[in-house]
Chain A
Amino acid sequence: MSVAEILFQVLGVTVVASPVVLLASLGAASLLGCRLSEAVIVRLTQASVVCGLLPAVAILVLMLVVGTRHVTVELGHWMEIPQEEFHFRLEFVFDRLSIPFVMLSYLLCGVVAAFTRRYLHREEGFRRFFLLYAIFFAGMVLSSLAGTIETLFLGWELVGLSSALLIAYFHEYQNPVRNGQRVWSVYRIADAAFLVAALTMHHLTGEGDFSVLMGAGPWPEGQAAISPQHALLVGSLLLVAAAGKSALVPFSGWLPRAMEGPTPSSAVFYGSLSVHLGAYLLLRVSPILDASLPLRAAVVVVGLVTAISATSMARVQSDVKGSLAYASLTQVGIIIVEIGLGLRYLALVHIIGHASLRTLQLLRAPSLLRDYHAMENAIGSRLPRRSSGWSRMLPESVRRWGFCFGYERGFMDLMLDNWIVVPFLQLFRGADRLERRWTDWLSREPSRESDRIPLHPESPGRNLV
């Protein structure tokens, strides 16, 4: 091994390990019941960000110096079944896609952690927040650098878990918990699609390594080594996964509901990093998209529909966080379109720029009144309402329906509820009724003791809505 290679290995491992160590230490502390002080938590988080960001920059510099475009860091073979040609390993890739993305993750996580330090000062859930935040942070870094689909899935799950838990951060209220659960449910659909895609890939190629699947060339020049039909199958599954994670049509309904947590978590999740993870996944597997034209078309259509409906929703939101959520979604839709069209570098630049801008906007969302006041004063009158040019060309009734569409958030939640959730529940409730009837008949008396328990045994205090 040359000096450069050793350096790459050491630096690479540091980049990956630093958030994991943070998670482990915060997690162990709370498992052992050791109540870390705010200052200690903050210092650990800062150290972790710095220890990860600097090596990432060093790797970038070193790669430019050495002239390589693709570095992999392997953390061992964890399983190998030669007969089945199956193996599983933890592998991390540093290339033109992952380096900017991981640096973005580090930067935004660092900035938002610095913000949170003061914003959540004296807050009862300070430790819980930073623990969940560490889960998210580790998840982002793992999924940005993932070199195999399993590793990506690991990071992806961590992000999803922390996301749902942070939405429900104020767990004494009803709405955050309900919305957190809703987001969690949508994520399950996305995760299921992802998992099936991963299994299919294993089935097709015997391993989950992106390099094998996409050819050996460094991103974005890889060539998918699978047939168009297989690409379509795996690609569609991954598209569903990306749609769930990035709130694309038809899953857009959850995004504004996610604005329940403290402002900084809303900013870093739904303004910037988490919401782009779906797009990142599609970028990562972009060689598959090349392999199948229908798949690319599907990606473009999903992105376009998302962008257009999100912009119509953003126009009618009257609360600042909801409006920013849909504004984010509009851009994510466009990024998906760019990926579908094969404009990968543009998409990457767009992700980075958009994430930074939106984080700033969301972090200062509580300043909205002040900003409006300042703008009104500068202009010297009430702020002009912007009306988009093309909407004026539409007939009145269509425009009104368009308002209704945006106002009802594209009816997406409703349709998911009516067409998926309700039939699903009905199926199981029906089964439950059947079973009850059957057991009642067998025991010749009401067989469910739980039916006799009163609904509110004791009231835990006021319900917070």
Chain B
Amino acid sequence: MSAPTTAVACDSPAGLRHAIEHAAEYLPTQGPITVFVHHNTLHALEDLPFEQAILEGYAMFGCEPYLSEPRYREEFKRGRIRAEDLREVLMADLGDEADRLIGSFGTRYGLRLCMLQYPLPAVPEAELPWVMAQTHALEQFRDDVEPAVREQMLGATRHWVMRDLQTRGQEERSGASAESTAQAVLAELIRESGSDLEAWKENAWRSFLLRFLWTVCRRGVYAAGLPKAEQRSLVRHRDWLLEVTGEDSDRWVNEVLIRFSASFLDQGFAASTIPNREQGFFRSFADLYSRPFAPRPRWMGGLRENLRALLSRPFDPLVSIEQSLDAFGVEPQEREAYLTQSLLALRGWAGMLRQMERHTPWAPQPAPEGTLLEYLAVRLILERYAVGEISRKHFGISELARVRELAAERIHPRPSRLSLEGLTLSVFHLAQVRGWSPEQLVHLSDRQWQQLVREIADFTELERRRILHFAYERQYHHAALDAVAIHCGTIRESQQAHQRQENSEGFARSAFQVVCCIDDREESFRRHLEEVDPKCETFGAAGFYAVAMYYQGAADAHFRPLCPNIITPRHYVREEPIFSAIGASARRSRRRRLLGYLTHHIHSESRTLIGGSITGVLGSLATFPMVARILAPRWAGRLRSSVGELVSPPLSELHLERNDQEPGPSGDALGYRVDEMAGIVVRVLQDIGLTQRLSPLVLFLGHGSSSMNNPHESAYCCGACSGGRGGPNARAFAQMANDPRVRAVVAEGGISIPPEVRFLGGYHDTCNDQVEYYDLDRLPRTHRALFRRIEASINETRARNAHERARRFESVPLQSTPLEALRRVEERAEDLSEARPEYNHATNALCFVGRREWSRGLYLDRRCFLTSYDPSLDDADSSILTRILQAAIPVCAGISLEYYFSTVDNEGYGCGSKLPHNIAALAGVMTGAASDLRPGLSAQMVEIHEPLRILFVVETTPEAMQRIIEENSGIARLVRGGWVRLAVLNPENSELHLFHRGRFEPYQRESYQLPKARSSLEWYRGWREHLDFASIDTPPVVHRGAATGAGVVS
């Protein structure tokens, strides 16, 4: 895709179609909310470097690229951004320009650093006279001016006045207007404080200094004049009219289109579908809006006849768009920009129309082909009427082509952001903090003033925010890299020490191994598990465990994909009741269906006339569930699930093995062949580096999340399963790996799985921290004791994990115990009124790819994705690392960037507060009664997030990583474009290389200290905010190395 600024002349239909295609790329790409997949919000601009792309987003969507300046200032004040970060970032950013001298005001670097460290007031022009008159701006220095600077300024000024100003004769003064200003100020002060200057108190001098300084600055700035300000770009007729008349034609047009798009896209909520839906967007719209006996608002006058005429012949949206553009008088070269802005005027709905047209064949009601084109055609037709009406009202004409011209005549110049007075204030403050005395300033030439003013104006708010943001990122990234390096060194030393001591004893084996998703929420789970049972070992792999499948649970109506959304699965897996329970299952499924019909009936009939009356009269019964669920959610949830057990499917198994040649969704075509299973097992074991030393029991945990009253529930589930629950993947994997035939094939590939090793699948709910296990009946009796031990450890881990999570929830007291915390998180999952059932990926900032031993015991505050990878098993081409990163970098970057954008501009890129959300068309949420569809994350999801680009730390060599970047365009785009940061770790010497401007540069450590704590609890307790890194002193890690067959640990 080319850069968005290139305009394509679109005077041919093909050119027009191309332009629209191009414009449509900027629409949000989030599909129906039931399958929520985190992705880069600015995916369409990913070809540009990050810094440019966010500015492009700012220009195109009007959305903020960074946090606000005051936010960064706060972070600076509380030490989250350090002065050294600012210095380093600014120095690197300016490069050779840093030392450029700006008149006599010092270097560019010095000036800019000063503007970053000392916030210059941004006072609107209208407010400025008030500030000068009513505050102490001219009486007192800024609070943050160093006392020494004050003294020096005061002394110099006093000296100057006593020496030159007062004693110089009248004739000399008349030439120097600066000094005459000083005389005027002095005269004023003399009136106030008496003529005996020697008797003046300090505050009189201060007042003189400041007033004089102000006057001098003002004169200088006025002499320099304003630098040129950028012009507003108004594109659409609507923009011009809004600017000139204050009337927004989009309000009318959007109101119509919101309601119609919602009805058109409705996935089965409304009882009546829109007539003629199957004939496409335009025909059903035209049919509806050309009905007779339907009053229409004034601005739509003539629309009915027009639509009737259009209905009577075949409709070509491109022709219609062309006609509209001609009517508006839009020149070919500006058409693309015009169409882009027109599409973006209601971008949520337009984006959903496009998604439903192209990417959701599985939806109950996908949109027919050409929907977006027809939508645009309809939109432009409506705009013609709306713009015409406003133009008639204000300009007296309805000739659309002349509207922009007429508006341009009437436009008031909008006051520029820069004003002379505002600049004066900036210079005035800068002079105070830099200690420029009036005497210095008085003799400057106009050219010097111009230089200074341009320098200040050039370092715009956006530029300042950019530097502040990079400093904000730098602080965390450097802390993280330091922590990794130090921790890695400590581990290496302790390993060497142990090896020396116990060399003779050979290699120990872990008691059990647990494999979790790479998800940042599992970081704390794994850490606590390792603390609870130091003999265990944990691994991280993408949570679909290479089982890319369409899955249908025993109680599910449909198959749903359980794999990253970049993969289209070929295999189908179904959960079925075990053979002996088929009868029981059928009975329960009948009961379930009955209950389902009943619920559906109540649900839909309660909204009708007759059915509603009956349910209404009996409605008092609803008081009981309502009161119970709101006042005692946990109790009500338990009651519900125990009643649910009566109808839930009995014991089940996965239909996992296929007999047919080709996979398909039914009968013998379900499942995988043995060799396919073996491929999956080999792949996962290689990825995580678990080809040897397998413990007797290896637990695979899928994860998901379940919460109430949460339209975004799917976003909380496993990202590697397309927003589904990953339990079935873990279960399927365990079943595959336990199959002796699979193991035989796997052994041919060189991985021998000893017969006593068993795999077990499980599911971790990250919201209520429950863990359940699959197919326990198939576990050999010999493994039961070990399982009990694992279960006990995991139960303890659940409570501790819940406790660590709960420190973030303000409503849970900090002094509660782990068990109380567990109860609270269980309650949150069941609570209808809980707007934050969990914090999901909020605070994510890191991704570690490498052996767990280097990160084990490092407190990462649930902010790190942990991917296991063992470079010693990899080949010379790093093919294992390549396939890990091919998934990990785009997925983690997608999560991180979606969080970034939703945080820096929650209204623009995110979906705002979830409190007024209203589910529309079963496809997305609107804010309130009717609004654009809101993609992105809600304010409640991101409120504790720090918007940072994710930093990958990969255990490999710079050369290998460089090769992977070069060979994979997807990775290269993200890494080279600066959408993610990347570092590689050499564990042998703890050296890090940081990717910077296209190559790896050695990382200079800043700190050699890492705090130590005896347990995670000791480190995090009593604190709600983000935490620094720390080394958790766990007992020595399990030794690595080849294991030869050992008995079951009991």
Which A residues lie at the B interface, using CB under 8 A?
107, 111, 114-123, 169-170, 173, 175-176, 179, 256-264, 307-308, 311, 314-324, 326-327, 330-331, 334, 346, 349-350, 352-361, 363-388, 391, 400-401, 403-408, 411, 414-415, 417-418, 422, 454-459, 462, 464-465
Per-residue contact bits, chain B 942-958, to A (CB 8 Å; 1 contact, 0 not): 01000000000000000
Contact, CB under 8 Å: B259 / A350: no
Which residues of chain B (994-1028) have a CB below 8 Å from chain A? Answer: none
Is there an interface contact between B616 and A331, defined as CB atoms closer than 8 Å? yes
The reply to whether A388 and B608 form a contact with Cβ atoms under 8 Å apart is yes
Which of B728-736, B832-840, B964-972, B975-983 lies at the interface?
B832-840
Taking a contact as CB atoms under 8 Å apart, the answer to whether A311 and B609 are in contact is yes
**Could you tell me the distance in whole angstroms from the C-beta of B708 to the nearest C-beta in chain A?**
6
- Is B599 close to A, CB under 8 A? yes
Report B-chain residues with C-beta under 8 Å of the C-beta of A415.
Answer: 295
Contact between A414 and B297, CB atoms less than 8 A apart: yes
Whether B136 is near chain A, meaning CB under 8 Å from some CB there, is: no
Partner of B835, one of A121, A170, A256, A404: A121
**What sequence of 0s and 1s flags, for each residue 452-487 of chain B, a beta carbon within 8 Å of any chain A beta carbon?**
000000000000000000000000000000000000
Name the A residues within 8 Å of B626 (CB-CB). 111, 356, 359-360, 363
Partner of B595, one of A121, A262, A378, A400: A378
Q: A458, B833: Cβ atoms under 8 Å?
A: no
Known: A175-B930, A318-B266. A369 touches B919 (CB 8 A): yes
Q: Knowing A316-B270, A376-B558, A379-B593, say if A404 contacts B623 (CB, 8 Å).
A: no
A379-B920 contact in complex given A260-B929, A311-B609, A317-B270, C-beta closer than 8 Å: no
Q: 27 interchain pairs (CB within 8 A)?
A: A119-B833, A260-B929, A262-B916, A263-B915, A314-B607, A316-B270, A318-B265, A318-B269, A319-B921, A322-B930, A323-B269, A327-B606, A352-B620, A366-B914, A366-B919, A367-B710, A368-B922, A369-B33, A372-B268, A378-B595, A380-B589, A400-B291, A403-B275, A405-B294, A455-B245, A456-B243, A458-B126
Q: Is B78 an interface residue (CB 8 A)?
A: no
Contact status A118-B831, CB under 8 Å: yes
* Residue pair A123, B618 in contact (C-beta under 8 Å): no
Check A377–B943 contact: CB distance below 8 A: no
A381 to B589, CA, bound (A): 13
Question: Roughly how many angstroms separate A401 CA and B627 CA in the complex, as a whole number?
Answer: 42
Given contacts A346-B617, A357-B619, A458-B125, 6 further A-B contacts (CB under 8 A): A330-B609, A365-B918, A372-B268, A376-B558, A417-B297, A455-B243
The 4 closest A-B pairs by CB, nearest first: A378-B596, A357-B619, A353-B619, A327-B607
| A379/B596 in contact, CB under 8 A | yes
Chain B: CB-nearest residue to A119: B833
User: Which residues on A sit within 8 Å (CB–CB) of B265?
Assistant: 318
Q: Which residue of A lies closest to B269 (CB)?
A: A318
Structural contact, B630 and A380, CB atoms closer than 8 A: no
Instruction: Determine if A403 and B274 form an interchain contact, defined as CB atoms under 8 angstroms apart.
Output: yes
B748 at interface (Cβ–Cβ under 8 A)? no
CA distance A397 to B553 in the complex (A): 44
Verify if B605 is at the interface (C-beta below 8 Å from A): yes
Cβ distance B676 to chain A, nearest Cβ, rounded Å: 28
Chain B 297-313 interface residues, beta-carbon cutoff 8 Å to A: 297-298
Chain A residues with CB under 8 A of B246: 455-456
Interface residue SS majority, chain B: loop
Q: Give the nearest-CB partner of A462 in chain B.
A: B62
Chain A residues near B621 (CB-CB < 8 A): 353, 356
Q: Which B residues touch A456, using CB under 8 A?
A: 243, 246, 412, 414
Q: Is the CB of A465 within 8 A of B557?
A: no
For B221-247 the 0/1 string (1 means CB < 8 A from A) is 000000000000000000000011110
Please judge, given known A-B contacts A357-B619, A401-B291, whether A257 and B810 are in contact too, CB under 8 Å.
no
Least distance between A11 CB and chain B CB atoms (Å)? 23
A418 touches B298 (CB 8 A): yes
Which residues of chain B have C-beta atoms less than 8 A from A407's C-beta? 259, 263, 274, 288
Binding site for A on B (CB under 8 A): 33-34, 62, 124-126, 243-246, 251, 254, 259, 262-263, 265-266, 268-275, 287-288, 291, 293-298, 364, 412, 414-415, 553, 555-558, 589, 592-593, 595-597, 599-600, 603-609, 612-613, 615-623, 625-627, 630-631, 647, 708-711, 713, 810-811, 831-836, 907-908, 913-922, 926-932, 943
With contacts A122-B943, A258-B929, A350-B616 taken as known, whether A404 is within 8 angstroms of B609 at the C-beta atoms is no
Across the interface, which residues of B come within 8 angstroms of A264, CB to CB? Answer: 833
Task: Please give the distance in Å from A146's CB to the nearest CB on chain B.
Answer: 24
Provide the bound-state CA to CA distance between A406 and B291, in Å.
Answer: 13
Whether B810 contacts A367 by the Cβ 8 Å rule is: no
- List residues of chain B with CB within 8 A of the CB of A260: 916, 928-929
| CB <8 Å contact, A117 and B589 | no
**Is A369 a contact partner of B711 (Cβ separation < 8 A)?**
yes
Docked pose: A353 CA to B626 CA in angstroms: 13
B913: A residues at CB distance < 8 A = 123, 170
Q: How far is the CA of A414 from the CA of B556 in the complex (A)?
A: 45
- Chain B contacts of A408 at CB under 8 A? 294
Q: Shortest CB–CB separation between residue A388 and chain B, in angstroms?
A: 7
Contacts of A316 in B (CB 8 A): 263, 270-272, 274
Name the residue of chain B whose CB is nearest to the CB of A368.
B919
Whether A320 and B943, one on each chain, are in contact in the complex, defined by CB atoms closer than 8 angstroms, is no
Question: A166 → chain B, closest Cβ, in Å?
Answer: 11
The answer on a CB contact under 8 Å between A334 and B609 is yes
Q: Which residues of B contact A365 (CB under 8 A)?
A: 918-919
Question: With A350-B617, A357-B615, A369-B33 given, is the CB distance from A406 to B272 under 8 Å?
Answer: yes
Selected from A119, A318, A331, the residue in CB contact (under 8 A) with B263 is A318
Do A360 and B625 contact each other (CB < 8 Å), given the known contacts A315-B270, A379-B596? yes
- Chain A: minimal CB distance from B650 (Å): 16
B599: A residues at CB distance < 8 A:
371, 374-375, 378
Kindly identify which residue among B275, B296, B364, B605 contacts A382, using a CB–CB cutoff of 8 Å: B364
- Taking a contact as CB atoms under 8 Å apart, the answer to whether A387 and B271 are in contact is yes
CA of A358 to CA of B623 in the docked complex: distance in angstroms?
A: 10
Question: Contact partner of A375 among B288, B298, B600, CB < 8 A?
Answer: B600
B295 touches A418 (CB 8 A): yes
If A173-B928, A355-B619, A377-B556 touch, does A400 touch B126 (CB 8 Å cutoff)? no
Q: In the bound complex, how far is the Cα of B711 from the Cα of A371, in angstroms? A: 11
Chain B residues contacting A120 (CB-CB under 8 Å) are: 835, 915
Q: Do B833 and A327 touch across chains, with their CB atoms under 8 A apart?
A: no
Q: Distance in Å from the Cβ of A42 to the closest Cβ of chain B?
A: 11
Contact A369 B832 (CB under 8 A): no
Write out the residue numbers on chain B whose beta carbons fall within 8 Å of the beta carbon of A346: 617
User: Of B597, B631, B928, which one neighbours A379 at CB under 8 angstroms?
Assistant: B597
The answer to whether B810 and A122 touch across the interface, beta carbons within 8 angstroms, is yes
CA distance A175 to B619 in the complex (A): 33
Q: Are B919 and A319 in contact (CB under 8 A)?
A: yes
| Known pairs A115-B630, A330-B608; A462 contacts B835 (CB<8 A) | no
Complex Cα–Cα for A334 and B616 (A): 10
| B345 and chain A: residue at smallest CB distance | A465
CA distance A372 to B33 in the complex (A): 13
Q: Across the interface, which residues of A come within 8 angstroms of B609, CB to CB?
A: 307-308, 311, 330, 334
Q: Which one of A111, A368, A417, A457 contacts B126 once the chains associate, using CB atoms below 8 Å?
A: A457
Nearest-neighbor residue (CB-CB) of B261 within chain A: A318
The distance in angstroms between the C-alpha atoms of A133 and B708, with both chains bound, is 24
Q: Given the interface contacts A175-B931, A385-B273, A400-B291, does A114 sit within 8 Å of B631 by beta carbon?
A: yes
Contacts A318-B269, A372-B922 hold; do A350 and B613 have CB atoms under 8 A apart?
Answer: yes
- Are B921 and A383 neighbours in the complex by a CB distance under 8 Å? no
* Shortest beta-carbon distance from A385 to chain B in Å: 7
